[in-house]
Structure 1
Amino acid sequence: MLLTLRVIVARQGGKPTAKGKQAAEGLRQAAAKDERKTEVETGHALKKGAARFEERSKSSDGKSAGTKQKI
């Protein structure tokens, strides 16, 4: 998310404001809290990186986006 904030700021040609930094930090904290809650509910740590993308992209039928594209 921080990279995204930097890209947005660069495109706007300015520096991040104190209010913007505070908002970004709040979003990071909320995301971390939600991730911890999900890990407790599922009983295991969430996957990271490419494995996380694959895990999140599975639909209700259990097939991942990559599998569906190969069909």
Structure 2
Amino acid sequence: MGVEQVRTKQGKEAARGLHRSTAAEERKVEAQKGSDLAKGADRVEERSRSSDGKGAGEKQAPRSKRH
């Protein structure tokens, strides 16, 4: 949830804190890795492939056509 969508002051502070800690963790991992982490759809594909060697698209069962 984005910070602007939170209704309470405590919620906004918590969302900002989570955003900051996540960004710091990402910078730490990127520094250890030596390169940037993939973003967006590339990240989903990378994470999916690393778990079992198949990409996200390969895991989707084909739909049968029904008329």
Q: Which runs of 4+ in 1 moved over 6 A?
A: none
Asked if 1:20 is matched to 2:15, the reply is: no
Looking at structure 2, the residues matched to 43 and 70 of structure 1 have their Cα atoms a distance apart, in angstroms, of 36
* Greater RCO, CA 8 A, separation 6+: 1
Quote the RMSD (CA, aligned, Å). 2.3
- Structure 1 residue runs of 5 or longer lacking an equivalent are 10-15
Q: Which residue of 2 aligns with 1:2?
A: 2
Residue 48 of structure 1 pairs with residue 45 of structure 2: no
TM-score by length of 1: 0.68
Structure exhibiting the larger radius of gyration computed from Cα positions: 2
| Runs (5+) with no aligned partner, structure 2 | 63-67
Give the whole-Å Cα distance in 2 for the aligned partners of 1:62 and 1:41.
23
